[in-house]
Amino acid sequence: MDLFTRAREWAAQDPDSETRAELEDLLTRAMNDDDAGQAAALQQLEDAFSGPLVFGTAGLRAALGPGPNRMNRVVVRSAAAGLAAHALNLADGAYAPRAVVGFDARRNSRIFAEETAAIFTAAGLQTFLMPSELPTPVLAYAVRALECEVGVMVTASHNPPEDNGYKVYLGGRAVEDNARGVQIVAPHDAQIAEQIAAVTGVRLAESGWNVLPESIETDYVASVTALADGDAYPARDLSIVLTPLHGVGGRTAQQVLASAGFDTVQVVKEQAEPDAAFPTVEFPNPEEPGALDLALAAAADLDADLVLANDPDADRMAAAAKDPATGEWRMLRGDETGALLGLHLAARLGEDEKHDAVFANSVVSSRLLGRIAEASGITHVQTLTGFKWISRVPDLTYGYEEALGYCVAPNLVRDKDGLSAALLLAELAAACKAEGKTLFDLLDELALVHGLHASDQLSVRVGSLGLLGAMMNRLREAPPSSFAGSDVVIAEDLAEGTSLPPTDGLLYVTRDDTRVIIRPSGTEPKLKCYLEVIEPVDSAAELTEAKTTARTRLDAVIRDVEEALGL
């Protein structure tokens, strides 16, 4: 069908006056030979209609705008109808599926959620709608607490301001016990996509869904607050600077911390309220350089003890503290925080509990958690990248991934939760302060026991997704024989699924235990390289030199990876 005809037909069915007007304007400019912006308008139009968006294990995520390759009400309506059909297929008449829908404060999140609730209700699902803009962990909590078969969170998490997304959970009677309240995996993604493609018309109920009371947030806060162990860890003398990065986690995070006894919490005022424009950051992701500048400046002015930051939907958590070795504030790497939380949770378990406990982290995360678990008599499991895999580990007690995701209470939230993780890290930091120590002292103690685990990343952005395959093929055809002067002794193609389920990636381990993992990003035209070196440390006096040596080794590994990739 002619592009212009497709665009006109889309505009005719679009219920949103804003995206309809945007599309009509593009059509006008693309058809006007005298318009200097004709080529640009035509390019935008072609891109908008190059879809449809692929519904995958991350659901949907894209820029807002008209057309099948954007997030808009037409696309979301079809997604909701397809998801409802999938839920009914899973039920197969044995029960009436239950669903809960949440939303953040991004543009159109509320209307996407409300129309999803209306479509679910019309399809015969018993549907609950969150009462207001709330964090993703509250929605993930509600999926389990309300025993729902389906959960939808309308959010683009830490994506740019122009984006929105549609994250899907399954639970209740639809899946096995360890997958209840976890994000979807195959084959559900493909099956939902088939149902979406089969949608020919969408019916919206005018009423009939249940708007949950505000107590759903209160219930979540009470459940998370109960995680704090005030008997074993009574210290609460801790000055905290908190930033929600213009997202929806600020109020809930403050309630959690205050309920647990942390009263000295200063919120970064410029970033305290939800704002879909994210005006003070270039990119609303705490991992990005500059995102925590305001929080770090506030912490320095207040002489605070700890900075806690959540991404806009609060499923991730970043932390920063003043490093006594340099006197400078710095953000902890995700692997450092993951190890500290693992150490803390292991210490909180009784000896009998440790025998039944399971720790897990993704293959690209540090090996240090495995050593902590082994030393504590706790089972450790390594998974593929992503919380959809970590969260469904049977009998999971604690799981994390290096990208600032932590699951400290899988019985409450079977996903990463930046709010509960913030509480337990605050508990640990306060206990350290009471003993005259810091979080960095704990990291040094871990290095003395298990060796200094130092990690880094190299991201290679390319012009198109097709180039990623070419780069991976280059490595498969000419695999590197060494990194930083140490011979490769293990070379595993993760696509062959030897130690893990098949996934596109390459793993190398050298004679000196340096590890390199290279894989394509699942969401961007980017090749991601995860690097880790382990430097033995025999005494505290060797720590400074060990850190310098580890950094030198990492830099050498980065150079060798770049050479192997032909950069």
Beta strands in 393-481, from DSSP E residues, in sequence order: 398-401, 405-407, 452-461
- 8 A C-beta contact, residue 309 and residue 245: yes
Name the phi and psi angles at 71, rounded to 5.
Answer: -85, 120
- Cα 150 to Cα 133: distance, rounded to the nearest angstrom: 19
Name the phi and psi angles at 166, rounded to 5.
Answer: -145, 95
Name the phi and psi angles at 100, rounded to 5.
Answer: -130, 140
Burial class (CB in 10 A: 0-12, 13-18, 19+), 355: exposed
Active site residues: 157
Complete edge-to-edge strand list for the sheet that includes strand 486-493: 452-461, 526-535, 515-520, 506-510, 486-493, 482-483
- 8 A C-beta contact, residue 73 and residue 111: yes
User: 67 in helix, strand or coil?
Assistant: coil
Provide the token pair at 193: 């996509």
User: 143 in helix, strand or coil?
Assistant: helix
- 8 A C-beta contact, residue 446 and residue 367: no
- 8 A C-beta contact, residue 120 and residue 98: no
Q: Which amino acid is at 330?
A: R
Beta strands in 260-299, from DSSP E residues, in sequence order: 265-267
User: What are the distances in angstroms from CA 300 to CA 272, 293, 319, 322, 566?
Assistant: 18, 11, 14, 9, 42
- Cα 563 to Cα 194: distance, rounded to the nearest angstrom: 42
Alpha helices, H only, 243-376: 250-259, 293-302, 334-348, 351-356, 368-376
